[in-house]
Structure formats: C-alpha cells, structure tokens
Amino acid sequence: MLYYFRGELQNNYQYCVKKFIQEMEEIVVWLAEGKINDNLLLEIIDSIINENEFSESLKLNIIETLWMNNYDN
C-alpha cells in the first residue's frame, strides 16, 4: 500500500523506485505480449527490490524464456 505524506512516497521502497521503473520498462512489454509468465515476473520484481542486479540464474531464465517464446512463434 502506498502512503503519501507531504507529497512524498512513504512505503519504505523509495530506494528502488527509479531502478524499478527503468528495469520494468521492457519487462511490461514482454508481459503484455505473453512472453513471460507470472512466476518469472514475480522473480524479476523480487530481484529488483531486494538485489543490486539480477542473479545469473535469473538472467539465464529470462533469456531462455524469451528465446523459447520467439522460437515457438
């Protein structure tokens, strides 16, 4: 839940808002196109919030998912 106090975001996630917006720009397109599923989306969001960068396993999972999706179409 988002709380605003004097025009400022008050939910303890201010530290990752800019990064979240930048990272999610392409990911929402993949989601809208059906290229990634909900489980992968949750992994990505969790990584954006809790880690400095995507883990190698998550990067590989994203690449594999996008590759398989493009190969199937």
pTM, two decimal places: 0.74
CA dihedral sign of residues 44, 50, 54, 60: negative
3-state secondary structure string, the chain? CCCEECCEECCCCHHHHHHHHHHHHHHHHHHHCCCCCHHHHHHHHHHHHHCCCCCHHHHHHHHHHHHHHHHHC
d(CA 26, CA 5): 30
65 and 40 Cβ atoms separated by less than 8 Å:
yes
pLDDT at 18: 86
pLDDT tens, residue by residue, 18-72: 888 888 998 999 999 999 999 999 999 999 989 989 999 999 999 999 998 876 6
